[in-house]
Amino acid sequence: MKDTLILGIETSCDETSASVVINGRKVLSNVIASQIDLHAQYGGVVPEIASRKHVELILPIIDKALEEAKIGLDQVDGIAVTYGPGLVGALLVGVSAAKSIAFALNKPLIKVNHIEGHIAANYITHEQLEPPYICLVASGGHSHIIHVTGYSDFEILGKTRDDAAGEAFDKISRVLGLGYPGGPAIDRMARQGDPQAFRFPRVRFDEDSRYDFSFSGLKTAVINTVHQLEQKGEPIPVADICASFQQAVVDVLTDYTVSAAKSRKMKTICIAGGVAANSLLRSTMQESAGKTGIEVLYPSLILCTDNAAMIASAGYYALMAGKRADWRLNATPSLRIGQDG
């Protein structure tokens, strides 16, 4: 059978990325221009600056992705683009570029939900992976436990009621003066700290919502601890706070995901999104799931955070399922998983 080459485009937040992927699994190129340095001075992503930078970078990044893949645009079988969720101005840059290219070349335009893209990153790293499985998606904007029943079919089992896991990492990092993005900084600092030093809260909802998360109480508890120590003029044990905070997030993410997998009798758990890069989450999930014979898979580090290869992979499966977007495609900033908006 002829190979299917998808050009993926991702501009939902602060990464401008383009990629060429064969048959949803094999990456020919994955060019990522991160704007982290640009936003770090403000302690988080500034939407206006992100949009402007995407406009500047999108065409050169697409050119570079095609060049590294050693193909011309005419060889592409479809153009897949993130259309939500994300920052509206940022999304619009990718959507406009994808529409223009697809229209000019008369190629299929494929719309991809960013969260579904994060899940698809696992298909690239794990060639044999097939649905069904349970996926924990934890990133700067989302925390979901999802039953992946098909390549383009999802059932949401749980989600955050307030902050996303990555957002909590970013906020605590800012309070402790560790900079943006917070996840990698806290991950590193926590290695030198004691995870039992502070007992931060782990929120649990009642039976009907047993896979839902809440991280805002945890965030407040950590911030209060820091303020109380400051008021008493005591030194802030930064490493211990990082380790104890990280342990609280990882305990909750792991417990709920493993229990969802058990209740659905799934043999595989995938983790995805920026927080899937967390070293404690990876090892704890593996240890906890391993006890009941459940395997745990996660994408390579570069495919955990935002990138266009995961969008091309999800786009491939959407195209195979006969899904194509029309020329009215628009950015949908608060798109939900499984929603065809």
Q: Is 306 one of the binding residues for Zn ion (CB under 5 A)?
A: yes
Which lies closer to ligand KG4 via its Cβ, residue 242 or residue 266? 242
- Rounded to 10 degrees, the C-alpha dihedral 64/68/73/79 comes to -80
Q: Cα 176 to chain center, whole Å?
A: 24
Q: Do residues 133 and 268 touch, judged by C-beta distance below 8 A?
A: yes
Q: Is 122 in the site for Zn ion (CB under 5 A)?
A: no
Can residue 305 be called a binding residue for ligand KG4 (CB under 6 A)?
yes
CB of 174 to Zn ion, least distance (A): 19
- Quick one: which of 8, 158, 274, 315 contacts ligand KG4 (CB under 6 A)? 274
Q: Pick the stretch among 17-25, 69-77, 99-107, 275-283 that binds ligand KG4 (CB under 6 A).
A: 275-283
The answer to whether residues 66 and 105 touch, using CB atoms and an 8 Å cutoff, is no
Instruction: State the nearest-atom distance from the C-beta of 39 to ligand KG4, in Å.
Output: 11
Q: How far is the CB of 141 from ligand KG4 (least distance, A)?
A: 4
Q: In the beta sheet, which residues pair with residue 133?
A: 148
Q: Does 125 bind Zn ion (CB under 5 A)?
A: no
Q: How far is the CB of 284 from ligand KG4 (least distance, A)?
A: 12
Q: β-pairing, 78-84 with 109-113? A: parallel
Residue 84 site contact among ligand KG4, Zn ion, none (CB < 5 to 8 Å, cut-off depends on kind):
none
Q: Which entry of Zn ion, ligand KG4, none binds 299, CB below 5 to 8 A by partner kind? A: none
Which residues are CB-contacts of 66 (< 8 A; sequence separation ≥ 6)? 7, 18, 20, 29, 72, 73
The distance in angstroms from the start CA to the end CA of the chain is 32
CA 84, 87, 88 angle in degrees (round to 5)? 75
Sequence letter at residue 91: L
Window 180-219: contact mask with ligand KG4 (x via CB under 6 A): -xxxx--x--------------------------------
139 binds Zn ion (CB under 5 A): yes
3-class secondary-structure state, position 265: coil
From the list 341, 337, 340, 339, the residue with the least C-alpha distance to 137 is 337
Indicate the residue among 116 and 306 with the shorter CB distance to ligand KG4.
306
Query: Does residue 307 belong to the site contacting Zn ion (CB under 5 A)?
Result: no
User: CA neighbours within 13 Å on the CB side: how many for 162?
Assistant: 10
CA distance 250 to 281: 5
Q: How far apart (Å, rounded) are the C-alpha atoms in residues 228 and 238?
A: 14
Q: Which does 187 bind (CB under 5 to 8 A by kind): Zn ion, ligand KG4, none?
A: ligand KG4
Which residues in the 1-20 window bind ligand KG4 by CB under 6 A? 13
List residues near ligand KG4 by CB under 6 A.
Answer: 13, 139-141, 166-167, 169-170, 181-184, 187, 273-275, 277-278, 305-306
Q: Which positions lie near Zn ion, rule CB under 5 A?
A: 139, 306
